[in-house]
Structure 1
Amino acid sequence: MRAAYRIVAMLIAIAVALQVASIALSGFTIAKDADDGTTIGSDYSNFGESYHSMAGMAIGLLALVLLILSFMTDVPRGRMLAGIIVGLVVLQFLLAVVSFGLPALGVLHGLNGLAIAGVAGAASSRATSSTPAPSV
């Protein structure tokens, strides 16, 4: 179970990196499309935006899987780190929803995403480097 915990935590960190890449792709695609004369309105969408939205849902699912796995393994502070990740993911969804009405909060959405990646990386590292507690 320790290996599964480590892999899921690392997948979350990698997925967040892909989120950063997809939203950059989206921004540059919007700029190019606008330069090409495309009307950017409420019905406009591009691959980067679509991927960012779908992958966000996958990260939420992975966070829940990590939380479940945390109860089946002996990773030091594994439950706490998994719980923090779930909390940050919930906050991420809330920030995404609110940021459409108040775009300045989008900065917090981006920073929180980096926090998710950092905590997930730390969780993966704990599962890799720590030894199981001795059984008595």
Structure 2
Amino acid sequence: MRRTYRILAIAIVVLVGVQAAAIAWGDSSMGEYVMGGSVIDQSLFTDESGSVPFVGVYGFIVHGMSGTLLIPAVAIALLVISFFAKFPRATFWAVVVLVLVALQVTLGMLSHGLAILGAFHGLNALALAAAAFYAQLIAGRARKEPVRKVTSAAETPTAV
């Protein structure tokens, strides 16, 4: 289970990187679209014709879908696996990651109405990646340490 825990934690780190790349692609493409003389307004985002005004729209789609569906699902899976991983603080770090994911989704949604929250959305992404990376790091370290069993308070711990 430690290996699964590590894989899920690393997946979150990688997905945060995908998030950053996707939003950078969307934003850069949108800037190129505007610099080419096009206009962005509400009608661009409510157009139901199915046409894509600029290719970076897919970056926004990837960012939104993975941030609201994929990363939360992986974080929940990490929490569930943490109960079976059997190493110190596995569940604690899984909860930290899940709370940061919940905060990330909330900041992302609220930043559409209050743009300054976008800055905190970016900072929280860094905290999320760091927490997930640390979670996989402690899972790897725990594997190398022998499990100690204490039968009574008077005895010294012995390796099992």
TM-score by length of 1: 0.93
Match of 1:71 in 2: 83
Match of 1:133 in 2: 147
Verify the 8 A CA contact 1:74 1:133 in the aligned structure 2. no
Aligned counterpart in structure 2 of residue 51 of structure 1, from 43, 62, 83: 62
Q: Percent identity between the aligned chains?
A: 36
TM-score by length of 2: 0.80
Cα-to-partner distance string for 1:58-77 (whole Å, 9 max, x where unaligned): 01100000000000111321
Return the structure number with greater relative CO, CA threshold 8 A, min gap 6.
Answer: 1
Verify the 8 A CA contact 1:2 1:127 in the aligned structure 2. yes
Verify the 8 A CA contact 1:63 1:85 in the aligned structure 2. yes
Which range is displaced more, 18-27 or 58-67?
18-27
Find the aligned partners of 1:78 and 1:132 in 2 and give their Cα distance: 16
- CA root-mean-square deviation: 1.5
Verify the 8 A CA contact 1:85 1:119 in the aligned structure 2. yes
Task: Compare the two structures and name the one with the higher helix fraction.
Answer: 1
Cα-to-partner distance string for 1:4-60 (whole Å, 9 max, x where unaligned): 000000000110011111111111011001112333123347011001011112011
Give the greater-gyration-radius structure (CA). Answer: 2
Long gaps (5+) in structure 1? none
Long gaps (5+) in structure 2? 46-51, 151-160
Aligned length: 136
Match of 1:97 in 2: 109
